Structure 1
C-alpha cells in the first residue's frame, strides 16, 4: 500500500485500520462476554426480558435520519478545503436539529411507554410493568444521547482523524458493556443496568467533547452558527443514505421469511446457518471500507482527483484478491465448519453454497466501490437504485424458491449483487 500512496496517507490509513480492528474486537468481546455473565447474574427469564427491552430502542438509532453520517463527510471536505467556518456551521446545525428532535422523541417515547401496555405487548413477565417501563425509558435516553455522541465523533473526524474517532467509539462501547456487566454482577436488575449504560454514555460524551475542544478549539457545540440552509443542503444526501440500511435489512431479513414460507423450518435453519458462515468476511471488508472513507472525503475537499483515483486503485487492489481468497476459503472450509457448528444437523447444500458465497463476494466488491461515492455525499442515486434492486431481487427469490429451492434464492441474491457492480461504477463516474 505504501508504494502507491504517500507516506503520510499510508501511515494514517494504517492507524485507522488498526483502530477499526480494535473496534471489531471490542464488539465481538462485548457480545460474547455479556451473554454468560448476564445469564449467570440474572437467569434466563430476566436476561430474556433485557433482550426484548433493549431491542426496542434500536429503531431510534436512525432518529437523526442519516444527518450525522453525511455531516462527517461534509465537515472533512470543508476542513480539507480550508473552510472551517463551513464545518462549524454544519456541526452546529446538526446540534440544533438534535437539540430539538431528541427531547421531542424522548417525550413521545415516555408518553407511549407509560400510556400504552408496552410490557404486555413485549410479553415481559420477569419484571414488573413499572420496572420494564423505566428500563425502556433509560435505554431510549441512552440511544438519543448516542446521536449526540455521533455528532462529537463527526467533529473528531473533521480534521481527518478517523483513527481517533474509531478509538473513542470502540472504547465507549467497551465501557458501556463493562458497566452493564458490573451492575448485573453487583446484584442490580434491569433498571440498574440501563442506568449504568446511560451514565457511561454521558461520561464518554463529555470526555470525547473535552478531547475534541482541546485539539480543535474552533469547533464547539451551540446554535449561534446554525442555519436552515445548511440543514436543507444536507437533507437530500442524509435521507438518501437512510435507504442503504433499509435495503440491506430487506436483503437480510426477507429471504428468511421467503425460505420459511416456501420451504419450511429445516430449510430455514440451513439457509440461516450457511449465510452466517458465508458472511463472516463482510466484517473485514467493512473495516477496510470504513478505514478509507475519511481519506476520500479529505481528498475531495482538496480537489485531488488523482489522489482519489490512486486510493481507489489501492483499495480495489486489496479488496479483489482478499474477496477471492475468502470465497475460496469458505468453499473449502464450509463442509467441515457447518456440521461442526450444528453438531451434524446442517450439511452443505449444492449448488446453494457456491451461489451464496458468490453473492457475498459480489456484495463485497460493490460495497468497496460504494465507499468513494458515499464519502463525498454523492450516493443519492445509487442508494435509490439499490433499494429498487433489492425489491426486485426479493420478488425473484419468492418466484424461484418453490421451483429451485435454496439454490433459487441464492441465485436471485447473486444476480442482485452482481447488478449493483455496474451501478456503482456508473455512480463513481457520476460523482467525479
Structure 2
C-alpha cells in the first residue's frame, strides 16, 4: 500500500473533518446569527427603526449598543424583550476539493452541490438601568439565545464540514456610565458570554458519506463596549460606540479533540438624532463590522502520533450598514416608528441587503409601555470562498513527516431574515 493511500485511508479523512468541523461550525454561526448586524439580535425598539436609533436614543433598550445612554436616564428602568428570528439560507453551486503535498493530486468532493436550511431563533433579553446619582448610572443586560439549529443533507459536498449544529448562548454585560458634562456622557460595558455548541458531520469525501462524527464545546469569552453620547443642542445628539471581543479559545471534545483560537470582528457605530418638533424625530446610524480581523487557528489530536494544525481564511471583507429611521407620535399614548437600512454584506462578493422595519409603541402611562415590531431583511446573495491549509504531523514512523493538505470550498449562499419582536418597558 502506498503512503498516500495509507494516509488517506487511515488519517487524512479524519484530519479533514476534525479541523473543518469547528471551522464550519463557526462559519455557520456567523452566517446565520450575524446575518443580523452583530449587536442587534435583541429587542423590539431597534427592530422597529431598523437599527437607526442604536447609539443616540435616550432609551434603556439601546444600552448594549451604547452604554453612555445610561447617564441620560433620571430614574430606574427595566426593559424586557423577546425576539423571534427566522433565517432561511440556501447554498448552491458548491464545489469542494482536497489536495495533498505528497502527491500533488487534487480531488473533487462528490455529492450534492446544493443544501438549504431554515433557522429559527428566540432571543429573550432583560435590560436594567439604575442611576445612582446625577452623575453615575449602573446597568446590566442579560441576553440569551436558543435553537440556532442547522441541518444539511449528509450527501452534500460540504458534509465533512457540518451536517447538523445546535447553539445555545448566554451574554451578561454589566455597564457603568458617567455624565462628564451636561452635554457629554461616557459609558463602559464588560461582556461575559457563554456559547455551547453541538455538531455532527460525515467525513466520506469522494464516495458516499461515512465516518460520522459528533463534537461539542462550551466556551466563555469576554469583551468590552465603549460608548459616548454628546448632546449637541436641546434637540440634536450624536453618539459613537466601539465593541470588541477578546480572542476566544475553545476546546472541542467528542469523536476527536481539538483546540481552537478565534478572533471575532469588532463593531463601530456612529449615530445622529434630531427632534424636529414634539411629534417627529429622525435617526441615522452607520455601522462598520471589521470582518478582516476574523481568523481561526486549530490544533487537533487525530490518532496516536498524528496531529494536525491549521489556519482558516474566509476571504471576508468589512461590512457596512447605513440606517435611517423616524419616530412619529400619533397621539398621547401611541408612537409609530419605521426605518430602512442598507447592508453591503461580508463575503468576497455580495449584493446589498435592504432592511425594512416597522414598530408601534403604546404607553399605558408615563411609567409603562409595550412595543411590537417587525423587521424584514431582503434576500442577500453572497459568493463564498474558503481555503483551509492543514499541516499534518505524523510522528509514529522512523522519520517523522509533515504533510500539507489544502481544502477548498466555493459556493453561492442566499439568505433571508425576518424578525418579530415584543418589548415591555417600565420606569420606576
- The structure with more radius of gyration: 2
Q: Structure 1-normalised TM-score?
A: 0.24
Higher relative CO (Cα under 8 Å, sequence separation at least 6) belongs to 1
Q: Structure 2-normalised TM-score?
A: 0.24
